[in-house]
Amino acid sequence: MESIEKILIANRGEIAIRIIKTCKKLGIKTVAIYTRPDENSPHIKLADEAYFLGSNPYLYFDIDKIISIAKKCNATAIHPGYGFLSENAQFARAVEENGLIWIGPPAKIIELLESKTNIRHIANDIGIPIVPGSLKPVSIDEAKKIAKEIGFPILLKADRGGGGRGIRLVKGLKELENIFDVIVEEMKAAFKSDKVYIEKYIPKARHIELQILADMHGNVVVLGERECSIQRKYQKVVEEAPSTAVTPHDREILYSYAIKFMKYVGYVNAGTMEFIKTPDDNYYLIEVNKRIQVEHPVTELVTGIDIVEQQIKIAEEKELEIKNNVTEFNGHAIEARIYAEDPETLLPSPGIITYVEFPDFDGIRIDHYLEPGVYIPPFYDSMVAKVIAWGKTRIETINKLTTALKYLRIEGIKTSIPILLKILSSKKFLNGEIHVEIYNELINYG
């Protein structure tokens, strides 16, 4: 296959800019798309070409329109980023069928792994531990039967959910009976599928994920783990690499699980396998993400590997230059997601950016789409920036990140920076004593 010469980025905001930066480094031309709310977004100016999708803010989901633009501008490939259509098998197949290169796993792999219960079934069949629960979508009667067997509380999950959405904690049988149909309808509205499954709820677990790269020649490597235990309502807030909870022995076991699974399904391109670590040190696979992750920069900073660049090279059918799993890391990296929201009420805070000033410190990277005049719309995920710090040690990294957040000025909207500063200064975070339920404790410690 010839080298990719022009990439249409089927996304917006900071991830569109992130992809453009790597493309510029590689000498690849870029095409941006945008809707009316994003008409002043920086990704439009940074790309070599830009095309207006229309006034409807949700046209980032319009497969036909995106494909039409890609063909019109003679793009050779499409990068979906994360969110929107990034894990949509129909979109990936449309790209492939129109003679374009899809920068991600093939449509058939996305289709295979779209169902969370299918992932659970595959993992169970090949000996990878999964959380006790159902191996297929369940009816209310099946849910009641399995819940009685594994014990409450349980998690009721959307089979086609993702990004931390489509998860409900259920504490007892009566609650399950009362809300099952309501939850199924909610899942159907959100994910266009009424299929749900259950998992045993494991309190005070840690969320550990592995970054994987796989090429078209059967090579699979793991670039290390990320700790994503600081979450609010199953949405990640702070991530770091490496994890303080993963021992070299743990890492060896987790890597073997990842390589076994990815080779078994024939995975290609970048992907993430998410596990929980229980308080008694057991690991269970919970999800496979078929795209680049929001938190990929922490892995890049401790490995020196540009994951977007690797995605492009894999899509060009090149063999991975990285021959071995990464087990030694250069220092420590932590990412803090900044949301356009009121830190007191947690309500979204859309608006126009009137002023922004970024700290310019060694060891600080900021992925964002902020500049004066940019409209932060209410229609999309409210994340507007990611501040990522690197240091030789975890404490040094925390101190750098804290200082950077204190110096960062964003005016015109409210942001979650005060919440992030509370988390970073809390004793339990400083000591690495974290788990997926600790968010409220950390922000209310004072």
Q: What is the pLDDT of residues 23-48, one digit of tens each?
A: 999 999 999 999 999 999 999 999 99
State the amino acid at position 202 in one-letter form.
I
Q: Which of 286, 262, 291 is CA-nearest to residue 275?
A: 286
Q: Check if the beta carbon of residue 397 is closer than 8 Å to that of residue 391.
A: yes
Q: Check if the beta carbon of residue 189 is closer than 8 Å to that of residue 179.
A: no
DSSP assignments along 201-222, one per residue: --TT-EEEEEEEEE-TTS-EEE
For the chain, give every domain's residue range.
Answer: 6-103, 132-200, 206-443
Spatial separation of the C-alpha atoms in residues 8 and 29, rounded to whole Å: 9
Alpha helices in 377-426 (DSSP H): 394-407, 417-425
Q: Encode pLDDT of 47-59 as tens digits.
A: 999 999 999 999 9
The single-letter DSSP state of residue 318 is P
Q: Which H or E run includes 239?
A: strand 235-241
Give the sign of the dihedral formed by CA 35, CA 41, CA 47, CA 48. positive
What pLDDT does 67 receive?
98
Q: Check if the beta carbon of residue 30 is closer than 8 Å to that of residue 19.
A: yes
Architecture of domain 6-103: 3-Layer(aba) Sandwich (3.40)
Q: Check if the beta carbon of residue 51 is closer than 8 Å to that of residue 32.
A: yes
Burial label for 434, CB within 10 Å (0-12, 13-18, 19+), is buried
Spatial separation of the C-alpha atoms in residues 211 and 31, rounded to whole Å: 27
What pLDDT does 66 receive?
98
What pLDDT does 446 receive?
41
Please tell me the CATH superfamily of domain 132-200, with its number.
Answer: ATP-grasp fold, A domain (3.30.1490.20)
Alpha helices in 206-284 (DSSP H): 248-265
Q: Is 175 helix (H, G, I), strand (E, B) or coil?
A: helix
Give the sign of the dihedral formed by CA 424, CA 428, CA 434, CA 439. negative
What pLDDT does 82 receive?
97
Spatial separation of the C-alpha atoms in residues 292 and 83, rounded to whole Å: 9
Q: Which of 218, 289, 269 is CA-nearest to residue 103?
A: 269
Q: Check if the beta carbon of residue 25 is closer than 8 Å to that of residue 2.
A: no
Tell me the chain's radius of gyration from C-alpha atoms.
21
Residue 324's alpha-carbon distances to 214, 219, 224, 341, in angstroms, are 12, 10, 11, 42
Active site residues: 291
Q: Is 404 helix (H, G, I), strand (E, B) or coil?
A: helix
The strand pair at 6-9 and 29-35 is best described as: parallel
Q: Check if the beta carbon of residue 326 is closer than 8 Å to that of residue 223.
A: yes
Q: Encode pLDDT of 410-438 as tens digits.
A: 999 999 999 999 999 999 999 999 999 99
Q: Is 44 helix (H, G, I), strand (E, B) or coil?
A: helix
How is residue 276 written in tokens? Answer: 């929980």
Q: What is the residue whose two structure tokens read 């792999």?
A: 109
Please report the beta strands in 86-219, taking only residues with DSSP state E, as ranges in sequence order.
Answer: 101-102, 154-158, 167-170, 196-200, 206-214
Residue 223's alpha-carbon distances to 58, 304, 323, 325, in angstroms, are 34, 10, 11, 6
Candidates 3.40.50.170, 3.30.420.10, 3.40.50.300, 3.30.470.20; CATH matching 206-443: 3.30.470.20
- pLDDT per residue as tens, the chain (446 positions): 779 999 999 999 999 999 999 999 999 999 999 999 999 999 999 999 999 999 999 999 999 999 999 999 999 999 999 999 999 999 999 999 999 999 999 999 999 999 999 999 999 999 999 999 999 999 999 999 999 999 999 999 989 877 667 888 999 999 999 889 888 888 888 788 889 999 999 999 999 999 999 999 999 999 999 999 999 988 999 999 999 999 999 999 999 999 999 999 999 999 999 999 999 999 999 999 999 999 999 999 999 999 999 999 999 999 999 999 999 999 999 999 999 999 999 999 999 999 999 999 999 999 999 999 999 999 999 999 999 999 999 999 999 999 999 999 999 999 999 999 999 999 999 999 999 999 988 887 54
**CB neighbourhood size of 7 (10 A):** 28
What pLDDT does 182 receive?
84
Bridge partners (DSSP) of residue 334 are 240, 389
What pLDDT does 71 receive?
98
